Amino acid sequence: MKIAIVGAHGSGKTTLSLGLVMNLKIMGRNAELMPEVARHSPYLIAGQQSPEAQLHIFSSQVESELRHARTCDVLVTDRCVLDHLMYLELFFPESKDFIQAERDFSRVYIKTYDHIFRTSTIYNSEEIKDNLRPKDLSLQRKAHENLGKLLEEFYPDYISLPSAKDVNAITFIMEHI
């Protein structure tokens, strides 16, 4: 089973993914977390944002998912291919060939996810101590909106998580898988 936790940067995906894997392991499931691949991109670490960097992150997502899925029964991914397509479209709308290639691949590859859960909370990125993340709150909101449109187009059965203040997201996910 492959479960993706998706959302804008700084929306709690990593914390949620870690908690979900821990709960699955406590229940005796052979679960593994596939961490966010952008953190290991040589392009972003060097501060070189480009369409090629986004393509590298996209392809790294796929490669990492394939590698991790071989070693567990439940793979929880911090992001999915649509997150990376969204950032390519957001930052480099002029890269039409790369965008079309990622869209074509995503349309087929998205079927490998058993469940996709989208975070609903937007945190103030300026308060998050993370040098990789953009701090612009309007950019975070735009990313959230654009990802929603891609999910509707590519994976309309995705589940929006309720606000963290309303419900325990891990319990919510466990009830839906």
Of 1-15, 44-58, 142-156, give the lowest mean pLDDT range.
44-58
Rg (Cα) of the chain, in Å, rounded? Answer: 15
Would you say residue 44 has pLDDT above 70? no
Contacts (Cβ under 8 Å, ≥6 apart) of 56: 41, 42, 43
pLDDT at 123: 62
Query: Domain 2-176 class?
Result: alpha beta
pLDDT in tens, 119-177: 987 665 555 555 555 566 788 889 999 999 999 999 999 999 987 666 788 999 999 99
pLDDT at 16: 92
Contacts (Cβ under 8 Å, ≥6 apart) of 36: 13, 14, 78, 79
- What is the longest distance spanned by two Cα atoms in the chain? 47
Would you say residue 47 has pLDDT above 80? no
pLDDT at 163: 78
Domain positions in the chain:
2-176
C-alpha angle 13/119/57, rounded to 5°?
50
| 97: enclosing H helix or E strand | helix 96-109
pLDDT at 19: 94
pLDDT in tens, 62-120: 999 999 999 999 999 999 999 999 999 999 999 999 999 999 999 999 999 999 999 98
pLDDT at 10: 81
Contacts (Cβ under 8 Å, ≥6 apart) of 58: 81, 84, 85, 88, 102
CA separation, residue 176 to residues 82, 115, 128 (Å): 21, 9, 29
Would you say residue 15 has pLDDT above 80? yes
- If one compares 4 and 15, the residue with the highest pLDDT of the two is 4
DSSP class of 131: T
